[in-house]
């Protein structure tokens, strides 16, 4: 990572075939945010390296900071949920 994260991190990216947001579980990719493996700041780079090694079908994995089981940045909260103006769409809608 460009800088050492302050808190725990998860690894995310977009799935190659449909662009959907996915999270790295430590061994595979899941489209459920709560499946994400959480690493402490000192282990963030190692987790990202492992994710990249498994990223044949995922575009540009990167680390995001997590606080209280949620991504810290609102951008990542929107990615994890879907458009806030269309609650019937995206992950929040509970269908693919």
The residues that touch other proteins, with contacts defined as CB under 8 A, are 14, 16-21, 56-57, 59-60, 72-75, 78-79, 82-86, 89-90
H helices present in 1-96, as ranges: 44-53, 74-81
**Nearest-approach distance from CB 22 to other proteins, in angstroms:** 11
Provide the CB-side half-sphere exposure for 21 (13 A, CA): 23
Nearer to other proteins, 25 or 72 (CB): 72
- Helix (H) / strand (E) element for 62: namely strand 58-67
Nearer to other proteins, 14 or 25 (CB): 14
Nearer to other proteins, 43 or 88 (CB): 88
Question: Contact at 8 Å (CB) between 54 and 14?
Answer: no
């Amino acid at each position: 990572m460009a800088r050492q994260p302050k808190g725990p991190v998860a690894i995310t990216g977009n799935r190659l075939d449909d662009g959907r947001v996915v999270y790295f579980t430590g061994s595979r990719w899941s489209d459920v945010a709560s499946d994400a493996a959480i690493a402490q700041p000192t282990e963030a780079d190692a987790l990202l390296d492992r994710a990249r090694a498994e990223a044949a079908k995922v575009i540009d994995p990167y680390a995001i900071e997590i606080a209280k089981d949620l991504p810290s940045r609102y951008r990542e909260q929107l990615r994890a949920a879907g458009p806030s103006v269309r609650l019937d769409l995206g992950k929040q809608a509970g269908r693919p």
